[in-house]
Structure 1
Amino acid sequence: MAFSPSLQKGQLLRRYKRFLADVQVQDQTLTLHCPNTGKMTGCAEPGWPVYFSESNNRKRKYPHTWELVENEQGDFVCVNTQQANALVASALAEQRITPLSAYQDMKAEVRYGTEQSRIDFLLSACSLPDCYVEVKSVTLLAEEHSPGQGYFPDTKSERAQKHVRELMQCVRDGHRAVLLFCVLHTGITRVSPAAHIDPDYAALVEKAMALGVECLAWRATINPQGMQLIAPVPFSLAPDLVLS
Protein backbone atom coordinates (compact mmCIF):
# COMPACT_ATOMS: atom_id res chain seq x y z
CA MET A 1 0.00 0.00 0.00
CA ALA A 2 1.68 3.16 -1.22
CA PHE A 3 0.96 6.58 0.24
CA SER A 4 -0.53 8.64 -2.56
CA PRO A 5 -0.05 11.52 -2.65
CA SER A 6 3.26 11.38 -0.81
CA LEU A 7 3.31 12.11 2.90
CA GLN A 8 4.52 15.45 4.19
CA LYS A 9 7.01 15.74 7.04
CA GLY A 10 7.02 17.82 10.18
CA GLN A 11 8.19 17.84 13.78
CA LEU A 12 5.79 16.96 16.58
CA LEU A 13 5.07 19.74 19.03
CA ARG A 14 2.30 18.12 21.07
CA ARG A 15 -0.66 15.74 20.98
CA TYR A 16 -3.75 16.90 22.84
CA LYS A 17 -7.50 16.30 23.20
CA ARG A 18 -6.75 12.75 21.97
CA PHE A 19 -7.56 13.54 18.35
CA LEU A 20 -5.38 16.57 17.67
CA ALA A 21 -1.64 17.16 17.24
CA ASP A 22 0.38 20.27 16.47
CA VAL A 23 3.42 19.93 14.23
CA GLN A 24 6.06 22.34 13.02
CA VAL A 25 6.47 22.41 9.24
CA GLN A 26 9.23 24.79 8.23
CA ASP A 27 8.05 28.20 9.52
CA GLN A 28 4.43 27.33 10.27
CA THR A 29 2.44 25.28 12.78
CA LEU A 30 -0.21 22.86 11.50
CA THR A 31 -2.90 21.09 13.50
CA LEU A 32 -3.37 17.47 12.42
CA HIS A 33 -6.20 15.05 13.00
CA CYS A 34 -4.86 12.15 15.12
CA PRO A 35 -6.88 8.99 14.30
CA ASN A 36 -5.89 7.05 17.41
CA THR A 37 -7.95 6.56 20.58
CA GLY A 38 -5.16 4.94 22.62
CA LYS A 39 -2.59 6.47 24.96
CA MET A 40 0.07 6.21 22.20
CA THR A 41 2.76 5.43 24.77
CA GLY A 42 6.16 5.75 23.13
CA CYS A 43 4.61 7.10 19.93
CA ALA A 44 4.11 10.81 20.60
CA GLU A 45 7.22 12.44 22.01
CA PRO A 46 7.70 16.14 21.20
CA GLY A 47 10.48 16.73 18.71
CA TRP A 48 10.08 13.44 16.84
CA PRO A 49 9.63 13.47 13.05
CA VAL A 50 6.05 12.90 11.94
CA TYR A 51 4.58 12.19 8.52
CA PHE A 52 1.09 13.24 7.53
CA SER A 53 -1.36 13.07 4.64
CA GLU A 54 -3.62 15.80 3.27
CA SER A 55 -7.25 15.35 2.28
CA ASN A 56 -8.88 17.00 -0.71
CA ASN A 57 -12.14 17.23 1.23
CA ARG A 58 -12.44 20.95 1.91
CA LYS A 59 -15.28 20.35 4.38
CA ARG A 60 -12.85 18.89 6.87
CA LYS A 61 -11.92 21.23 9.70
CA TYR A 62 -8.48 19.60 9.87
CA PRO A 63 -7.52 18.40 6.37
CA HIS A 64 -4.20 16.89 7.50
CA THR A 65 -4.02 13.41 9.08
CA TRP A 66 -1.14 12.12 11.18
CA GLU A 67 0.03 8.81 9.67
CA LEU A 68 3.53 7.92 10.92
CA VAL A 69 6.06 8.87 13.57
CA GLU A 70 9.78 8.02 13.73
CA ASN A 71 11.25 7.39 17.18
CA GLU A 72 14.80 8.00 18.41
CA GLN A 73 15.85 4.47 17.40
CA GLY A 74 14.75 5.05 13.81
CA ASP A 75 11.70 2.81 14.12
CA PHE A 76 8.61 3.83 12.18
CA VAL A 77 5.22 3.61 13.86
CA CYS A 78 1.87 3.95 12.10
CA VAL A 79 -0.33 5.90 14.52
CA ASN A 80 -3.36 5.86 12.20
CA THR A 81 -5.12 2.77 13.53
CA GLN A 82 -7.51 2.78 10.56
CA GLN A 83 -4.63 1.63 8.37
CA ALA A 84 -4.51 -1.73 10.17
CA ASN A 85 -7.73 -2.91 8.55
CA ALA A 86 -6.62 -1.64 5.15
CA LEU A 87 -3.37 -3.60 5.42
CA VAL A 88 -5.14 -6.77 6.54
CA ALA A 89 -7.77 -6.43 3.80
CA SER A 90 -5.05 -6.19 1.16
CA ALA A 91 -3.18 -9.18 2.58
CA LEU A 92 -6.35 -11.28 2.77
CA ALA A 93 -7.35 -10.39 -0.78
CA GLU A 94 -3.92 -11.43 -2.02
CA GLN A 95 -3.98 -14.56 0.21
CA ARG A 96 -0.71 -13.60 1.86
CA ILE A 97 -1.82 -14.56 5.39
CA THR A 98 -1.15 -18.28 5.09
CA PRO A 99 -3.46 -19.58 7.87
CA LEU A 100 -6.36 -17.75 6.20
CA SER A 101 -5.47 -18.27 2.54
CA ALA A 102 -8.11 -20.96 1.88
CA TYR A 103 -10.97 -18.45 2.04
CA GLN A 104 -12.18 -16.92 -1.22
CA ASP A 105 -14.89 -14.53 -0.03
CA MET A 106 -14.43 -11.58 2.34
CA LYS A 107 -16.92 -9.14 3.82
CA ALA A 108 -16.00 -6.22 6.06
CA GLU A 109 -17.85 -4.68 9.02
CA VAL A 110 -20.51 -7.38 9.35
CA ARG A 111 -22.85 -7.19 12.33
CA TYR A 112 -22.64 -10.19 14.66
CA GLY A 113 -22.82 -11.31 18.26
CA THR A 114 -25.06 -10.60 21.23
CA GLU A 115 -23.19 -7.42 22.23
CA GLN A 116 -24.01 -5.50 19.03
CA SER A 117 -20.55 -5.75 17.49
CA ARG A 118 -19.22 -5.52 13.95
CA ILE A 119 -16.59 -8.03 12.92
CA ASP A 120 -13.72 -6.56 10.93
CA PHE A 121 -13.76 -9.38 8.38
CA LEU A 122 -16.04 -12.35 7.77
CA LEU A 123 -14.35 -14.95 5.56
CA SER A 124 -16.15 -17.77 3.84
CA ALA A 125 -15.41 -20.66 1.48
CA CYS A 126 -17.10 -23.83 0.33
CA SER A 127 -16.82 -26.72 2.81
CA LEU A 128 -15.16 -24.52 5.46
CA PRO A 129 -16.72 -22.97 8.56
CA ASP A 130 -17.15 -19.21 8.41
CA CYS A 131 -14.16 -17.39 9.85
CA TYR A 132 -14.60 -14.26 11.99
CA VAL A 133 -11.48 -12.07 12.07
CA GLU A 134 -11.03 -9.23 14.56
CA VAL A 135 -8.05 -6.91 13.86
CA LYS A 136 -6.08 -5.07 16.54
CA SER A 137 -3.24 -2.64 15.84
CA VAL A 138 -0.14 -3.05 18.02
CA THR A 139 2.15 -0.05 18.65
CA LEU A 140 3.18 -0.41 22.32
CA LEU A 141 6.85 -1.42 22.60
CA ALA A 142 8.38 -2.39 25.97
CA GLU A 143 11.95 -1.82 24.82
CA GLU A 144 13.27 -1.04 28.29
CA HIS A 145 12.17 -4.43 29.62
CA SER A 146 12.73 -6.77 26.68
CA PRO A 147 13.85 -5.69 23.20
CA GLY A 148 11.18 -6.18 20.58
CA GLN A 149 8.34 -7.03 22.96
CA GLY A 150 5.04 -5.53 21.86
CA TYR A 151 1.75 -5.37 23.73
CA PHE A 152 -1.95 -4.85 23.17
CA PRO A 153 -3.81 -2.87 24.41
CA ASP A 154 -1.94 0.25 25.47
CA THR A 155 -4.74 1.24 27.85
CA LYS A 156 -7.58 -0.60 29.58
CA SER A 157 -10.19 -1.35 26.92
CA GLU A 158 -13.68 -2.66 27.64
CA ARG A 159 -14.35 -2.58 23.89
CA ALA A 160 -11.44 -4.95 23.23
CA GLN A 161 -12.72 -7.24 25.99
CA LYS A 162 -16.15 -7.29 24.35
CA HIS A 163 -14.62 -8.36 21.04
CA VAL A 164 -12.87 -11.32 22.68
CA ARG A 165 -16.14 -12.44 24.27
CA GLU A 166 -17.88 -12.23 20.89
CA LEU A 167 -15.16 -14.36 19.27
CA MET A 168 -15.53 -16.95 22.00
CA GLN A 169 -19.23 -17.20 21.22
CA CYS A 170 -18.41 -17.65 17.52
CA VAL A 171 -16.38 -20.74 18.42
CA ARG A 172 -19.20 -22.07 20.59
CA ASP A 173 -21.53 -21.64 17.62
CA GLY A 174 -19.28 -23.79 15.44
CA HIS A 175 -17.44 -21.05 13.54
CA ARG A 176 -13.75 -20.26 13.28
CA ALA A 177 -12.58 -17.15 15.16
CA VAL A 178 -9.29 -15.30 14.78
CA LEU A 179 -7.79 -12.43 16.75
CA LEU A 180 -5.31 -10.86 14.34
CA PHE A 181 -2.73 -8.49 15.84
CA CYS A 182 -1.44 -6.14 13.16
CA VAL A 183 2.01 -4.90 14.24
CA LEU A 184 2.40 -1.27 13.19
CA HIS A 185 5.77 -0.63 14.86
CA THR A 186 8.95 -1.71 13.07
CA GLY A 187 10.71 -2.26 16.40
CA ILE A 188 8.24 -4.92 17.59
CA THR A 189 9.21 -8.52 16.90
CA ARG A 190 6.73 -10.41 19.13
CA VAL A 191 3.36 -9.73 20.74
CA SER A 192 1.58 -10.51 24.02
CA PRO A 193 -1.59 -9.33 25.78
CA ALA A 194 -0.80 -6.40 28.09
CA ALA A 195 -1.64 -8.07 31.40
CA HIS A 196 0.14 -5.27 33.27
CA ILE A 197 -2.22 -2.72 31.71
CA ASP A 198 -5.49 -4.61 31.24
CA PRO A 199 -5.44 -7.87 33.21
CA ASP A 200 -9.09 -8.56 32.38
CA TYR A 201 -8.31 -8.48 28.68
CA ALA A 202 -5.30 -10.76 29.08
CA ALA A 203 -7.36 -13.25 31.11
CA LEU A 204 -10.08 -13.25 28.44
CA VAL A 205 -7.55 -13.91 25.67
CA GLU A 206 -6.19 -16.86 27.63
CA LYS A 207 -9.70 -18.30 28.05
CA ALA A 208 -10.45 -17.64 24.39
CA MET A 209 -7.36 -19.50 23.19
CA ALA A 210 -8.24 -22.45 25.43
CA LEU A 211 -11.68 -22.48 23.82
CA GLY A 212 -10.28 -22.43 20.30
CA VAL A 213 -9.97 -18.78 19.30
CA GLU A 214 -6.79 -18.39 17.23
CA CYS A 215 -4.35 -15.55 17.92
CA LEU A 216 -2.14 -14.48 15.02
CA ALA A 217 0.37 -11.62 14.90
CA TRP A 218 1.69 -10.19 11.64
CA ARG A 219 4.10 -7.32 11.14
CA ALA A 220 4.14 -4.63 8.49
CA THR A 221 6.92 -2.89 6.67
CA ILE A 222 6.49 0.82 7.33
CA ASN A 223 8.17 3.85 5.78
CA PRO A 224 7.06 7.22 4.40
CA GLN A 225 6.59 5.67 0.95
CA GLY A 226 4.13 2.97 2.03
CA MET A 227 3.28 -0.07 4.14
CA GLN A 228 2.63 -3.76 3.62
CA LEU A 229 1.77 -6.70 5.88
CA ILE A 230 4.57 -9.15 5.21
CA ALA A 231 5.28 -11.82 7.85
CA PRO A 232 4.12 -13.47 11.09
CA VAL A 233 5.74 -12.75 14.44
CA PRO A 234 5.46 -14.88 17.60
CA PHE A 235 2.44 -14.44 19.85
CA SER A 236 2.57 -15.63 23.45
CA LEU A 237 0.38 -15.24 26.52
CA ALA A 238 3.26 -14.88 28.95
CA PRO A 239 6.33 -12.93 27.78
CA ASP A 240 9.64 -13.73 29.44
CA LEU A 241 10.07 -10.51 31.45
CA VAL A 242 9.22 -8.98 34.80
CA LEU A 243 7.49 -5.60 34.86
CA SER A 244 8.14 -3.35 37.83
Structure 2
Amino acid sequence: MKFATPLREARLIKRYKRFLADIETPDGQVMTIHCPNTGSMRHCLEPGEPLWWSLSDNPKRKLPGTWEVACLRHGRPDSVAPDYALINTARPNALVAEALSENRIAPLSGYTSHRREARLGQRRLDFCLTAEGQQPCWVEVKNVTLLEQPDIGLGMFPDAVSQRATAHLHELMACVARGERAVLLFCVGHTGIRSVMPAADIDPVYARTLQEAYAAGVELFAYGVSLTREHMQLTIPLPVMLEKA
Protein backbone atom coordinates (compact mmCIF):
# COMPACT_ATOMS: atom_id res chain seq x y z
CA MET A 1 0.00 0.00 0.00
CA LYS A 2 1.67 3.16 -1.20
CA PHE A 3 0.69 6.57 0.16
CA ALA A 4 -0.06 9.40 -2.27
CA THR A 5 2.45 11.52 -0.33
CA PRO A 6 4.86 10.44 2.42
CA LEU A 7 3.47 10.47 5.94
CA ARG A 8 4.36 13.59 7.93
CA GLU A 9 6.38 13.65 11.14
CA ALA A 10 5.41 15.14 14.51
CA ARG A 11 5.64 14.45 18.23
CA LEU A 12 2.77 13.38 20.46
CA ILE A 13 1.53 15.78 23.11
CA LYS A 14 -1.46 13.73 24.29
CA ARG A 15 -4.34 11.57 23.14
CA TYR A 16 -7.75 12.27 24.67
CA LYS A 17 -11.47 11.61 24.22
CA ARG A 18 -10.42 8.40 22.40
CA PHE A 19 -10.49 9.97 18.94
CA LEU A 20 -8.35 13.10 19.38
CA ALA A 21 -4.61 13.64 19.63
CA ASP A 22 -2.64 16.85 20.03
CA ILE A 23 0.69 16.88 18.21
CA GLU A 24 3.59 19.25 17.63
CA THR A 25 5.07 19.46 14.15
CA PRO A 26 8.81 19.98 13.50
CA ASP A 27 8.23 23.71 12.93
CA GLY A 28 6.60 24.07 16.36
CA GLN A 29 2.95 24.13 15.27
CA VAL A 30 0.52 22.52 17.74
CA MET A 31 -2.53 20.93 16.14
CA THR A 32 -5.25 18.38 16.82
CA ILE A 33 -5.58 15.33 14.57
CA HIS A 34 -7.93 12.36 14.42
CA CYS A 35 -6.92 9.21 16.33
CA PRO A 36 -8.60 6.29 14.51
CA ASN A 37 -8.18 3.76 17.32
CA THR A 38 -10.77 2.88 19.98
CA GLY A 39 -8.43 0.62 21.98
CA SER A 40 -6.39 1.50 25.04
CA MET A 41 -3.26 1.87 22.84
CA ARG A 42 -1.26 0.55 25.76
CA HIS A 43 2.49 1.38 25.50
CA CYS A 44 1.82 3.53 22.41
CA LEU A 45 0.97 6.83 24.11
CA GLU A 46 4.22 8.15 25.58
CA PRO A 47 4.18 11.99 25.38
CA GLY A 48 7.03 13.39 23.33
CA GLU A 49 7.47 10.25 21.21
CA PRO A 50 7.61 10.71 17.43
CA LEU A 51 4.68 9.75 15.23
CA TRP A 52 3.66 9.78 11.58
CA TRP A 53 0.41 11.27 10.35
CA SER A 54 -1.41 11.77 7.07
CA LEU A 55 -3.16 14.85 5.73
CA SER A 56 -6.48 14.52 3.90
CA ASP A 57 -7.54 16.90 1.12
CA ASN A 58 -11.23 16.25 1.86
CA PRO A 59 -12.71 19.70 2.61
CA LYS A 60 -15.61 18.15 4.54
CA ARG A 61 -13.35 16.75 7.26
CA LYS A 62 -13.31 18.68 10.51
CA LEU A 63 -9.85 17.34 11.33
CA PRO A 64 -7.84 16.80 8.13
CA GLY A 65 -4.95 15.08 9.94
CA THR A 66 -4.97 11.37 10.87
CA TRP A 67 -2.55 9.60 13.21
CA GLU A 68 -1.16 6.63 11.29
CA VAL A 69 1.93 5.27 13.08
CA ALA A 70 3.54 5.61 16.51
CA CYS A 71 7.36 5.53 16.73
CA LEU A 72 8.29 3.77 19.97
CA ARG A 73 11.63 3.58 21.76
CA HIS A 74 10.54 1.64 24.87
CA GLY A 75 12.99 3.63 26.97
CA ARG A 76 15.89 3.01 24.61
CA PRO A 77 18.32 5.83 23.67
CA ASP A 78 17.64 8.01 20.63
CA SER A 79 20.58 6.41 18.84
CA VAL A 80 18.66 3.11 18.67
CA ALA A 81 16.09 2.75 15.87
CA PRO A 82 12.51 2.79 17.18
CA ASP A 83 9.80 0.23 16.66
CA TYR A 84 6.78 1.30 14.64
CA ALA A 85 3.17 0.61 15.61
CA LEU A 86 0.21 0.91 13.24
CA ILE A 87 -2.34 3.11 15.01
CA ASN A 88 -4.91 3.54 12.24
CA THR A 89 -7.21 0.53 12.65
CA ALA A 90 -8.68 1.10 9.18
CA ARG A 91 -5.39 0.01 7.61
CA PRO A 92 -5.14 -3.72 8.57
CA ASN A 93 -8.16 -4.80 6.51
CA ALA A 94 -6.83 -2.88 3.52
CA LEU A 95 -3.42 -4.51 3.93
CA VAL A 96 -5.00 -7.96 4.10
CA ALA A 97 -7.21 -7.21 1.08
CA GLU A 98 -4.13 -6.15 -0.91
CA ALA A 99 -2.22 -9.28 0.13
CA LEU A 100 -5.19 -11.51 -0.77
CA SER A 101 -5.50 -9.92 -4.20
CA GLU A 102 -1.80 -10.50 -4.80
CA ASN A 103 -1.97 -14.09 -3.47
CA ARG A 104 0.65 -13.36 -0.78
CA ILE A 105 -1.11 -15.16 2.10
CA ALA A 106 -0.25 -18.78 1.35
CA PRO A 107 -2.86 -20.46 3.61
CA LEU A 108 -5.60 -18.36 1.95
CA SER A 109 -4.52 -18.68 -1.67
CA GLY A 110 -6.71 -20.14 -4.38
CA TYR A 111 -9.91 -18.23 -3.66
CA THR A 112 -11.30 -16.28 -6.59
CA SER A 113 -13.53 -13.86 -4.68
CA HIS A 114 -12.65 -11.80 -1.60
CA ARG A 115 -15.80 -10.11 -0.34
CA ARG A 116 -15.24 -7.52 2.39
CA GLU A 117 -17.53 -6.73 5.32
CA ALA A 118 -19.52 -9.88 4.63
CA ARG A 119 -22.72 -10.29 6.61
CA LEU A 120 -23.01 -13.41 8.72
CA GLY A 121 -26.23 -13.56 10.74
CA GLN A 122 -26.51 -10.45 12.88
CA ARG A 123 -22.85 -9.54 12.44
CA ARG A 124 -20.31 -8.86 9.76
CA LEU A 125 -16.94 -10.53 9.39
CA ASP A 126 -14.07 -8.85 7.60
CA PHE A 127 -13.82 -11.19 4.62
CA CYS A 128 -15.67 -14.02 2.94
CA LEU A 129 -13.46 -15.91 0.48
CA THR A 130 -15.07 -18.11 -2.13
CA ALA A 131 -14.12 -20.31 -5.06
CA GLU A 132 -16.13 -22.60 -7.28
CA GLY A 133 -16.64 -25.99 -5.72
CA GLN A 134 -15.40 -24.93 -2.26
CA GLN A 135 -17.11 -24.00 0.98
CA PRO A 136 -16.71 -20.32 1.89
CA CYS A 137 -13.84 -19.26 4.10
CA TRP A 138 -14.65 -16.59 6.69
CA VAL A 139 -11.80 -14.36 7.88
CA GLU A 140 -11.73 -11.93 10.80
CA VAL A 141 -8.73 -9.57 11.06
CA LYS A 142 -7.37 -8.13 14.31
CA ASN A 143 -4.68 -5.46 14.60
CA VAL A 144 -1.97 -6.23 17.18
CA THR A 145 0.07 -3.34 18.62
CA LEU A 146 0.55 -4.40 22.25
CA LEU A 147 4.18 -5.36 22.87
CA GLU A 148 4.42 -6.61 26.45
CA GLN A 149 7.92 -8.11 26.46
CA PRO A 150 10.25 -6.19 24.11
CA ASP A 151 13.21 -8.44 24.93
CA ILE A 152 11.54 -11.44 23.29
CA GLY A 153 9.13 -9.60 20.98
CA LEU A 154 5.98 -10.99 22.61
CA GLY A 155 2.84 -9.29 21.33
CA MET A 156 -0.61 -9.68 22.83
CA PHE A 157 -4.23 -9.14 21.85
CA PRO A 158 -6.46 -7.46 22.90
CA ASP A 159 -5.08 -4.36 24.64
CA ALA A 160 -8.37 -3.88 26.52
CA VAL A 161 -11.39 -6.04 27.35
CA SER A 162 -13.21 -6.64 24.06
CA GLN A 163 -16.61 -8.30 24.09
CA ARG A 164 -16.83 -7.64 20.36
CA ALA A 165 -13.65 -9.63 19.67
CA THR A 166 -14.99 -12.51 21.76
CA ALA A 167 -18.28 -12.41 19.85
CA HIS A 168 -16.35 -12.69 16.58
CA LEU A 169 -14.73 -15.89 17.87
CA HIS A 170 -18.16 -17.38 18.54
CA GLU A 171 -19.22 -16.45 14.99
CA LEU A 172 -16.13 -18.18 13.59
CA MET A 173 -16.86 -21.30 15.65
CA ALA A 174 -20.39 -21.33 14.26
CA CYS A 175 -18.93 -21.29 10.74
CA VAL A 176 -16.82 -24.35 11.51
CA ALA A 177 -19.86 -26.10 12.99
CA ARG A 178 -21.65 -25.60 9.64
CA GLY A 179 -18.76 -27.23 7.81
CA GLU A 180 -17.25 -23.97 6.55
CA ARG A 181 -13.71 -22.72 6.97
CA ALA A 182 -13.02 -19.99 9.56
CA VAL A 183 -9.81 -18.01 10.10
CA LEU A 184 -8.65 -15.46 12.66
CA LEU A 185 -5.80 -13.45 11.18
CA PHE A 186 -3.70 -11.25 13.44
CA CYS A 187 -2.30 -8.32 11.47
CA VAL A 188 0.76 -7.54 13.59
CA GLY A 189 1.10 -3.80 13.14
CA HIS A 190 4.13 -3.47 15.44
CA THR A 191 7.60 -4.03 14.08
CA GLY A 192 8.95 -5.16 17.45
CA ILE A 193 6.54 -8.10 17.76
CA ARG A 194 7.83 -11.52 16.71
CA SER A 195 5.07 -13.74 18.12
CA VAL A 196 1.46 -13.30 19.26
CA MET A 197 -0.62 -14.70 22.10
CA PRO A 198 -3.90 -13.78 23.83
CA ALA A 199 -3.66 -11.20 26.62
CA ALA A 200 -5.13 -13.39 29.35
CA ASP A 201 -4.26 -10.89 32.09
CA ILE A 202 -6.26 -8.19 30.29
CA ASP A 203 -9.20 -10.18 28.92
CA PRO A 204 -9.33 -13.72 30.33
CA VAL A 205 -12.68 -14.40 28.64
CA TYR A 206 -11.20 -13.68 25.23
CA ALA A 207 -8.12 -15.81 25.95
CA ARG A 208 -10.27 -18.74 27.04
CA THR A 209 -12.59 -18.38 24.05
CA LEU A 210 -9.63 -18.27 21.66
CA GLN A 211 -8.46 -21.61 22.99
CA GLU A 212 -11.98 -22.99 22.54
CA ALA A 213 -12.13 -21.63 19.01
CA TYR A 214 -8.82 -23.23 18.07
CA ALA A 215 -9.94 -26.54 19.54
CA ALA A 216 -13.15 -26.28 17.51
CA GLY A 217 -11.22 -25.86 14.26
CA VAL A 218 -10.83 -22.10 13.81
CA GLU A 219 -7.48 -21.51 12.12
CA LEU A 220 -5.09 -18.93 13.61
CA PHE A 221 -2.55 -16.99 11.57
CA ALA A 222 -0.41 -13.92 12.20
CA TYR A 223 1.47 -11.76 9.70
CA GLY A 224 3.89 -8.92 10.28
CA VAL A 225 3.69 -5.49 8.66
CA SER A 226 6.50 -3.38 7.21
CA LEU A 227 6.01 0.33 7.88
CA THR A 228 7.70 3.31 6.25
CA ARG A 229 6.59 6.87 5.61
CA GLU A 230 6.05 5.96 1.94
CA HIS A 231 4.24 2.63 2.15
CA MET A 232 3.11 -0.29 4.33
CA GLN A 233 2.69 -3.94 3.47
CA LEU A 234 1.75 -7.28 5.00
CA THR A 235 4.94 -9.36 5.18
CA ILE A 236 6.01 -12.60 6.85
CA PRO A 237 4.04 -15.12 8.92
CA LEU A 238 4.60 -15.04 12.70
CA PRO A 239 3.88 -17.75 15.28
CA VAL A 240 0.66 -17.67 17.31
CA MET A 241 0.81 -19.14 20.82
CA LEU A 242 -2.20 -19.89 22.99
CA GLU A 243 -0.20 -19.70 26.21
CA LYS A 244 3.33 -18.95 27.35
CA ALA A 245 5.90 -21.65 26.73
Sort the TM-score into its range (normalised by shorter chain).
Answer: over 0.9
- Tell me what 1:2 maps to: 2
TM-score normalized with structure 1 length: 0.95
- Out of 116-125 and 69-78, give the one that drifted further: 69-78
- Tell me what 2:45 maps to: 44
- Tell me what 1:78 maps to: 86
- Tell me what 1:109 maps to: 117
User: d(CA) in 2 for partners of 1:104 and 1:151?
Assistant: 32
1:104-152 CA-partner distances (Å, limit 9, x unpaired)? 1110011103xx21110000012221000000000000126x5200001
Contact 2:116–2:128 (8 Å) recurs in 1: yes
- Tell me what 2:19 maps to: 19
User: d(CA) in 2 for partners of 1:201 and 1:136?
Assistant: 13
Q: CA deviation at 1:201?
A: 0.4
- Tell me what 1:157 maps to: 162
User: d(CA) in 2 for partners of 1:187 and 1:3?
Assistant: 22
User: d(CA) in 2 for partners of 1:239 and 1:150?
Assistant: 11
Q: CA deviation at 1:27?
A: 2.1
Q: CA deviation at 1:223?
A: 1.6
Identity, in percent, stands at 50
User: d(CA) in 1 for partners of 2:23 and 2:222?
Assistant: 32
Residues 1:199 and 2:207 aligned together: no
Q: CA deviation at 1:4?
A: 1.6
Structure 2 counterparts to residues 166-177 of structure 1, below 5 A: 166-177=171-182
Q: CA deviation at 1:167?
A: 0.4
Structure 2 counterparts to residues 28-67 of structure 1, below 5 A: 28-67=29-68
User: d(CA) in 1 for partners of 2:213 and 2:69?
Assistant: 32
User: d(CA) in 2 for partners of 1:8 and 1:222?
Assistant: 13
User: d(CA) in 1 for partners of 2:161 and 2:14?
Assistant: 23
Dislocated runs of 4+, deviation >3 Å: none
User: d(CA) in 2 for partners of 1:16 and 1:64?
Assistant: 15
Q: CA deviation at 1:196?
A: 0.9
Contact 2:194–2:238 (8 Å) recurs in 1: yes
Q: Aligned-residue CA RMSD in angstroms?
A: 1.0
State the secondary structure of the residue aligned to 2:224: strand
Q: Of residues 110, 135, 140 in structure 2, which corresponds to 1:134? A: 140
Gap runs ≥5 in structure 1? none
User: d(CA) in 1 for partners of 2:98 and 2:244?
Assistant: 30
Gap runs ≥5 in structure 2? 77-81
Q: CA deviation at 1:57?
A: 1.1
User: d(CA) in 2 for partners of 1:40 and 1:239?
Assistant: 22
Contact 2:71–2:83 (8 Å) recurs in 1: yes
